[in-house]
Amino acid sequence: MFALASSSLGRVASRRIAAGASSERLFHASSTALEKLNVEGLAERVNLEGQNVLMRVDLNVPLAKDDVTVTDDTRLRAIVPTAKFLLDKGANVILCSHFGRPKGEIVETGKNGRLNPVVPRLNELLGVNVTKVDDCIGPDVEDAASHLTKGDVLLLENTRFYAGETKNDSTLSEGLGKLADYFVMDAFGTAHRAHSSTAGVADHVDLSAAGYLLDKELKYLKGAVDSPNRPLCAIVGGAKVSTKIPVIESLLDKCDSVLLGGGMIFTFYKALGYDIGASLVEDDMVQLASDLMKKAEEKGVKLVLPTDVVLADDFSADANTAIANATEISGDWRGLDIGPETMETFREEIAKSNTIVWNGPMGVFEMEPFAAGTVGVAEMLAEATAERGAVTIVGGGDSVAAINKAGLGDKVSHISTGGGASLELLEGKVLPGVAALTEV
């Protein structure tokens, strides 16, 4: 069913709850996650001592203006559990990653350059001296890999120095496969790409497994939507409805309620015949927004649109602001955040739910006057986790930046490390980097 968020605008009180839903606070790991070999399963199947393991990771960290200093080591820390597990098993770990978008050219420094800047911090995090080579395939790299001894760590060069990387080039895949006996995929953020280092290489090693990071992502994201503890609530925000259409359509098939925020809501308002003033709108998506509301009604899913918004007379942190009913926007005013009445309605819906998935901010949270909606949702998820044991998942992109900005990143069940990969999993798509792994 379709509903506006306010009782004054005819809130629809009923909602669909799956018959026989469990009262437990946890969902079951999805079959998709369990069908693929993970790193612990790999260690049970084979003796890893002295064996080369190629580990695909995501080392795309931000650099300071000096092009040398790592300013945020989150992604480096994320690889530690899997790497240390392999090292503890006596394996020789060969780290493999792209860095930026050099587009097949060798770039010496900067955000598209060599991986040299990450080496000092990796040394500290892994507790070993990481050896780096200046290529990712070829005789010199093969020689370095062949001389690794128990517990060594070798870092390959930026895989995207080869144009074939993003085309899943078989020569590059084969070259990477020559370096190791086994492959561990732990770069969830690139798992939705069929690249040589994420998917193709799996055809050239004995066994391929998911690392801890990837395995956790699969269990949380797939488990949340495939086997949730109901009621399942999804909160979807962001500027454009066009980028979220597939995920909204998929969630309408799986959720009990879907709460919408962000700039996309004005396309829905226009579909309802509301004046939206100078707010962001995608005119070519208006009919589709109407269709989504109709689909929700047909499926008995509660699709909740904000009933009030924070308006501004300019896209600026210094703009004049006002709070208005969704039906009372006009002139040069534009909506940049959800309003306080909507916040309370969202709070009520979240309080009813045992599994909550959030993707996309509620407003222009980068500007303080329009951050309350996004920060408020972050606080509601943290509260649901702490007080009720609800499973709360923040799915990639701006919503991750928002919850970290609010200082609540460690207060939810799971924060996804992948933007596009998170969306594609929620859409129900099969990720190439997962499909390539060895089945259990």
Return the number of other C-beta atoms located less than 10 Å from residue 232's C-beta.
25
User: How, if at all, do strands 2-4 and 302-305 pair?
Assistant: parallel
Structure tokens, 416: 């996804």
Active site annotation includes 302: no
User: Which strand (E) or helix (H) includes residue 340?
Assistant: helix 340-352
Catalytic residue among 15, 36, 56, 75: 75
CA distance 240 to 282: 7
Contact 240, 24 (CB under 8 A): no
183: tokens are 């492959």
Which listed residue (132, 240, 299, 411) is catalytic? Answer: 240
Give the integer Cα–Cα distance in Å for 174 and 8.
Answer: 63
Which residues are paired to 305 by β-bridges?
A: 4
Are 337 and 310 in contact by the 8 Å Cβ rule? The answer is yes
Task: Determine the Cα–Cα distance for residues 281 and 288; give it in Å rounded to an integer.
Answer: 13
SS3 call for 103:
coil
Active-site annotation holds for 132: no
- Paired sense of beta strands 232-236 and 182-185, if any: unpaired
The residues that bridge with 153 in the sheet, in sequence order, are 93
Beta strands in 211-315 (DSSP E): 232-236, 257-260, 302-305, 308-312
In contact, 88 and 128? CB cutoff 8 Å: no
Of the candidates 411, 420, 428, 429, the residue annotated as catalytic is 420
The bridge status of strand 334-338 relative to strand 308-312 is: antiparallel
Cβ neighbors of 291 (< 8 A, separation 6 or more) are: none
397 noted as active-site residue:
yes
Active-site residue, from 113, 237, 277, 397: 397
Rg for the chain, CA atoms, rounded: 23
Question: Does residue 175 carry a catalytic annotation?
Answer: no
Interior/surface letters 12-24, b for 16+ CB within 10 angstroms, e for the rest:
eeebeeeeeeeee
CB 115, CB 97: distance < 8 Å: yes
Cα dihedral 277/282/283/287 (nearest 10): -110
Q: What is the DSSP code (8-state) at residue 439?
A: B
Give catalytic residue positions: 75, 240, 397, 420
